[in-house]
Structure 1
Amino acid sequence: MIAGLLDGIFNGISIGAVLLISALGLAIVFGLMGVINLAHGELMMLGAYTTFVVQNGFKILGKPWSETYIVFALILAFLVTAGVGLVLERGVIRYLYGRPLETLLATWGVSLILQQFARSVSWVLVIGIGIFCLLFFGAFWILSRRPDFERIRNWVIAIMSPISLGVASATSAVLGQTYKLAVTKPWFGAQNVDVTAPSWLRGGLRLGTLQMPYTRLFIIALTIVCVAGIYVFLQRSPWGLRIRSVMQNRSMSACLGIPTAKVDAITFALGSGLAGIAGCAISLLGSVGPNTGQNYIVDTFMVVVVGGVGKLVGSIVAAMGIGTINYLISSKVLVPMVAPIKPLVDFFEFFGTTSMAKVMVFALIIAFLQVRPGGIFPQKGRSVDA
């Protein structure tokens, strides 16, 4: 009975570690910018697909390189998703600050676009996007040197958008007709793909009757490294100081000369990069598909809200608590312990499935927020009224 409880607690902590690593970036972005980024799950999905691509690339190189791919995958997943996040912030989010409903709808649309992109991406699509960006942004860059550019800016957008789109579409169509399946076949498709852990992450550590898989231990260690890295960055680096300053009082920070727009861009890129690392981690736990991020986005938001907006310690406590409670209820570990009490046995049997356990956890979270609407560690001071 005790062994089953310890095993359940370990598995719950490992699930909490996955939730925490996925919530880190969201907590920073939500706390600083007040942006409800519904595309955060899709950024995790991009990190998972990046891991799959790196894995296949290192398989070609053979051993011993194929055993070290996970290290390079973590770095590349962070860079890829940080770049996507930076483009998203500069191209969409920056125009919607202070408008939470529009931001929510815009990021939801971006999430749908990224899901379809993962299903449909091929060489034709990549070449078409590349040609569009080259023509549109190239013309933008050249014409921005004109002294009257601000006056003609809207005309440039209105004229170059259809021209660039038409040229890119025509080129993609010609390539598709010329090379047929060679360039039009999707890279991933709608089906899930599998990421195989390196041999040194297979198996597990046995302590008595407790079996701890190396994969989950690696994710827990990765989460600790990420939390420590974020803490040091926010507390010890100049940009971390600027981020904390803007988070506490944006107007005063701007008056003191802190470039708030650049801080927003760096913060969003950092949060997106952390989502990519989370995607790399969850790819070790199961197959990767276009809907991978949707399996974690709701729980991730719950971690941020329950922990307290922008509170790193709160996110840690909330992630561990939600992950552990969710697993203990869904795995029926507590049923033998309450065997003498028939109503409790019936209760845990009823909620002893993954879906019903989530319902129970959400009900507990709603009840908790009725008592502490600001979360475990609510904001204090002027930042609450900002």
Structure 2
Amino acid sequence: MNILISQLFTGLSIGSILLLTALGLAFSFGLMKVINMAHGEFIMVGAYVTYFFQQFLAVPLRGADGQREGLVFVVSIVAAFLITAALGYLLEVTVIRRLYGRPLDTLLATWGIGLILQQVARSYDPRNVPVTSPAWLDGRLVVAQGIGFPYARLFIILLAVICVIGVYFYLYRTSNGRRTRAVMQNREIAASLGVATRRVDAYTFALGTGLAGVAGSALTLIGQIGPQLGTGYIVDAFMVVVLGGVGSLPGTILAAIVIGTLNPIFEMYISSAGFDSAASLGKVLVFVVIIAFLQFRPNGLLALRSRT
């Protein structure tokens, strides 16, 4: 039971990262029907922003070599959001806006931009580089004998909750958010009522890439970062978008939790059965479950309702 609870908590933290990664994809794909293959590289950019902040701005804590000030780490998360959002806005204005209605061209263009960003990271340092977590995230919260929750993963879950609340208030409590929902439901009618749909596209794409940057900052708490950081999460992020329902915030949240929780549980039971490559087999089983579910609900868990 202790192992199961620990695996569930691990799955919840993984689901939180998937949620941060998939939130941007859910709205950019639902709004603009754009498959952004460079989304994983924006995760990588956010991680490197945190790394650079630590290397050049953070000051080691007194009496603890290698530890960095927690305030600089928190500021780096905000900076990762702003920098990756600015890059996403620039990408939408210069490239994607000229390729609307041509999904194959958009896919190839964003894939090429992703390769360029990877090469830029390799030019700086082709190796994986470590990011030291703040001292106040060391250790774990012991809730029972043999059960402890690492503070770093608790922080990732809290970060995901804050981002979800922020996205909710943006969509349902601001004028730009209402325009975004209007364009997502019916672009033609929204445009006829005076909504600047291209501006909405740019802001929404920037928001999505900014959230990807926050996900990259969160990944620095789990392990080392490198040029290939985002490629391991982009497929899972698309699975979250498809399973949750395109453009549905509650569906994206639910799908991220389901996928993040199923993976470690499958791995635990596969490894206990004595099979090798438990991680790969667990991911395959998750794929099988999603494919089987989509046969009955092709629009996802909670599809966005609109008039057709």
Q: TM-score, normalised to structure 1's length? A: 0.76
**Of 78, 103, 107, which aligns to 1:104?**
107
Match of 1:57 in 2: 56
Quick one: structure 1 residues 351 and 15, their matched pair in 2 at CA, closer, same or farther if it must change by over 3 Å? farther
Match of 2:15 in 1: 16
**Structure 2 alignment gaps of length 5 or more:** 63-67
Partner Cα separation in structure 2 for residue 243 and residue 51 of structure 1: 30
**Structure 1 alignment gaps of length 5 or more:** 121-187, 336-344
**Of 231, 256, 260, which aligns to 2:168?**
231
The answer to whether the Cα contact below 8 Å between 2:267 and 2:278 also exists between their aligned partners in 1 is yes
Q: Secondary structure at the match of 1:86?
A: helix
**Of 274, 289, 300, which aligns to 1:364?**
289
What are the within-5 Å matches in structure 2 for residues 64-75 of structure 1?
A: 66-75=69-78
The answer to whether the Cα contact below 8 Å between 1:8 and 1:333 also exists between their aligned partners in 2 is no
Match of 2:42 in 1: 43
What are the within-5 Å matches in structure 2 for residues 163-312 of structure 1?
A: 188-208=124-144, 209-312=146-249
Pairing 1:89–2:25 present: no
Pairing 1:373–2:298 present: yes
The answer to whether the Cα contact below 8 Å between 1:20 and 1:223 also exists between their aligned partners in 2 is yes
Q: Aligned-pair distance for 1:368?
A: 1.2
The answer to whether the Cα contact below 8 Å between 2:69 and 2:135 also exists between their aligned partners in 1 is no
Pairing 1:315–2:252 present: yes
1:181-226 Cα offsets, whole Å, 9 max, x none, are xxxxxxx311001111000001100011211000000000000000
1:273-303 Cα offsets, whole Å, 9 max, x none, are 0100000001111111000000100000000
Partner Cα separation in structure 1 for residue 305 and residue 12 of structure 2: 29
Match of 1:136 in 2: none
Q: Aligned-pair distance for 1:379?
A: 3.2
Tell me the matched-pair count.
Answer: 302
Match of 1:115 in 2: 118
Q: Aligned-pair distance for 1:109?
A: 0.9
The answer to whether the Cα contact below 8 Å between 1:328 and 1:334 also exists between their aligned partners in 2 is no
1:4-57 Cα offsets, whole Å, 9 max, x none, are 111111111111111111111111111111111010000000000000000112
Partner Cα separation in structure 2 for residue 99 and residue 322 of structure 1: 31
The answer to whether the Cα contact below 8 Å between 1:81 and 1:273 also exists between their aligned partners in 2 is yes
Cα RMSD between the aligned structures? 1.6
Percent of counterpart pairs with the same letter? 52
The answer to whether the Cα contact below 8 Å between 2:270 and 2:278 also exists between their aligned partners in 1 is no
The answer to whether the Cα contact below 8 Å between 1:351 and 1:360 also exists between their aligned partners in 2 is no
Match of 1:331 in 2: 268
Which is further off, 43-52 or 4-13? 4-13
Q: TM-score, normalised to structure 2's length? A: 0.94
